[in-house]
Structure 1
């Protein structure tokens, strides 16, 4: 797989972290599409969910499809004929950015659990530093999806004036107890795998089972019960698909579907990086910036216009949390459009229900 499209920005050294500690010689990976205008006023930054890389769409250097391929490109909702699109891989993610699997220059060994505690504010600051390095003082638009939506709120709070408009996709101003509970179980599954070994695993001793269960829990919550019913009902596996020698083995199609998802994921993501980013999502709380009030925190964000999209079937980032973001940005003086979709796909709808998301996002950007 060609990674020629991936570029790297070296962060200022030392790079201080919100919760203490600092990184030396750190970097973030990013990719770009389209061309920056002479006035440098057409930049659109995308901040991603927990697991994606910076490869949001194909480009000349890397023709493989990106994670938001149907959304980004010439004539698409995020039109690269008009916008200079940047996607930054989160600090702490193993998709090219400095993360717990990276080598600590002080020791010559991987950081593992000696990596400083990671907050989404650090993700935001690293992305802002990368954008600034491209000579962009103000983004025309900042797009944040899922975890990236929380990072985007931090970006706008910590760097006032650096964003003109904002698109908030399936995210929240703080994690609700349900989301924290699920992520806590995902982390526990990884930590309880003997191969995890307090973060000291290698390719030969990799916490496969823990990562597999963590991924299955994720997939279950990224979709909705409505969709599981529609796709699988109670359909059982054919005899040849079952392993009847395994006690309590898989019997239903939905079990086998989850297993396939998990197997495709496990070795593609560093378990320690997963733990760090997952916890950062739990920690994020915009009310820290508003003396304990979400609305007061949001009111400190200054953008001209915003589009907030949510899905009624999202159980991880429920619609009422996206309503809070819309109300808060409006109270802060932004012209806000709030779009509530009924996509059956739940939290993952922004990756799947391209027709409805394209209409909302393309419509909003077209009016700018």
Structure 2
């Protein structure tokens, strides 16, 4: 059970008795975060970034850590999210293993890792924790909250549960609910981990670790993060050189297999399996339509009606045509739903060939869109 915390990480303590949406409470919990830029005298230039499942709070190099971050090309002086204008906060998700309290963290009473004793985790819990960080920094209202992938869900949960906390929102390859295809993929990922004989009902350690299950889970994820168009253009049917081929029966034969294997092996010991399970399931449970049910909780979920309950000045929902995990119609649904609530909302479909992960790599397309929106605030 290991946490993977980048240098320069800062922490915000959550109040004891932090209530979780599905029951249970946390004592002594914390949220990891990093910042860029300066908060102005009016405290109205703050931008919050909430992330996907696996990133830490180190989105870009800063004074606390000069190493490039996971969104280095997007955030910094003169970049699309310009830290010379904005005070930028990036939080690591509650339930993660990158500094925030999660299943890999030490329970304050037992002094052992929480493991599966961690309370059931919802997207809303991450949203509430992020709101605590914002208010703890003395910020009453954000200029904008930016959410990527799972972070798009977290941002919407924050906006509906904490009305007035943000003026504007950029939702990037996000969703207001989980669709059956993405639920099915994540279910298979979790099954791969749980069926690994070394998972031990979450009681693994560094010596006996569910490596095979994590490798398979990561490979399934990477396949859905990119598009068939990119796989074809990048790898085609190129075979491995004879000295790189796997001599095991039915072993690695193609370049694309080798890429997936290398990617998976770099990931498995850098992310805690139990944290992966908890965060993955939290996405499957999320549907903003739950907030449009009757006061008694009865009636069907209405996602668009849930979106219309959010009050914003401006919003931008960006997606790509090749995203199979959070398909383009989900970003369109977000824009239309927020517009129904009175926001000046725009839907921007981009033609990137790089699938769900395009926002991480196709900065030439995403950068101008984000910069143009922020310039109007």
* Fold in common (TM above 0.5): yes
Cα offset for 1:3?
3.9
Report if the CA contact (8 A) 2:167-2:313 is conserved: yes
Could you tell me which residue of structure 1 aligns to residue 339 of structure 2? 330
Could you tell me which residue of structure 2 aligns to residue 249 of structure 1? 251
Report if the CA contact (8 A) 1:2-1:62 is conserved: no
Could you tell me which residue of structure 2 aligns to residue 110 of structure 1? 113
Q: Structure 2 unaligned runs (5+)?
A: 294-300
Q: 3-state SS of the aligned residue for 1:268?
A: coil
Q: Is 1:349 matched with 2:358?
A: yes
Q: 3-state SS of the aligned residue for 1:110?
A: coil
Could you tell me which residue of structure 1 aligns to residue 146 of structure 2? 143
Which of 168, 171, 181 aligns to 1:168? It is: 171
2:28 and 2:175 mapped to 1: Cα distance? Answer: 32
1:357 and 1:295 mapped to 2: Cα distance? Answer: 25
Per-residue CA deviations over 1:66-93 (Å, capped at 9, x if unaligned) read: 0000000011000000000000000000
Q: Is 1:295 matched with 2:307?
A: no
1:183 and 1:157 mapped to 2: Cα distance? Answer: 25
Q: Is 1:224 matched with 2:227?
A: yes
Q: Is 1:314 matched with 2:323?
A: yes
Could you tell me which residue of structure 2 aligns to residue 366 of structure 1? 375
Could you tell me which residue of structure 1 aligns to residue 161 of structure 2? 158
Could you tell me which residue of structure 2 aligns to residue 31 of structure 1? 34
Could you tell me which residue of structure 2 aligns to residue 11 of structure 1? 14
1:49 and 1:294 mapped to 2: Cα distance? Answer: 21
1:4 and 1:261 mapped to 2: Cα distance? Answer: 23
Report if the CA contact (8 A) 1:120-1:281 is conserved: yes
Per-residue CA deviations over 1:108-165 (Å, capped at 9, x if unaligned) read: 1111000000000000000000110000000000000000000000000000011100
Which of 192, 199, 202 aligns to 1:199? It is: 202
Cα offset for 1:301?
0.4
Return the TM-score normalized by structure 2.
Answer: 0.96
Q: 3-state SS of the aligned residue for 1:44?
A: strand
Report if the CA contact (8 A) 1:237-1:252 is conserved: yes
Per-residue CA deviations over 1:311-367 (Å, capped at 9, x if unaligned) read: 000000000111000000001000012110010000000001001100100011112
Cα offset for 1:243?
2.4
Q: 3-state SS of the aligned residue for 2:34?
A: strand
Could you tell me which residue of structure 2 aligns to residue 51 of structure 1? 54
1:319 and 1:176 mapped to 2: Cα distance? Answer: 12
Cα offset for 1:4?
4.1
2:323 and 2:123 mapped to 1: Cα distance? Answer: 21
After TM superposition, the structure 1 stretch with the greater mean CA deviation from structure 2, 129-138 or 102-111, is: 102-111
Q: Structure 1 unaligned runs (5+)?
A: none
1:243 and 1:84 mapped to 2: Cα distance? Answer: 49
Report if the CA contact (8 A) 1:236-1:252 is conserved: yes
Could you tell me which residue of structure 2 aligns to residue 62 of structure 1? 65
Q: Is 1:21 matched with 2:32?
A: no
Q: 3-state SS of the aligned residue for 1:109?
A: coil
Residue 217 to residue 4, structure 1, CA distance change in 2 (3 Å): closer
Q: Is 1:75 matched with 2:78?
A: yes
Which of 263, 266, 270 aligns to 2:265? It is: 263
Cα offset for 1:47?
0.2
Residue 105 to residue 60, structure 1, CA distance change in 2 (3 Å): same
The two structures, once aligned, show a CA RMSD in angstroms of: 1.0
Q: 3-state SS of the aligned residue for 1:241?
A: coil
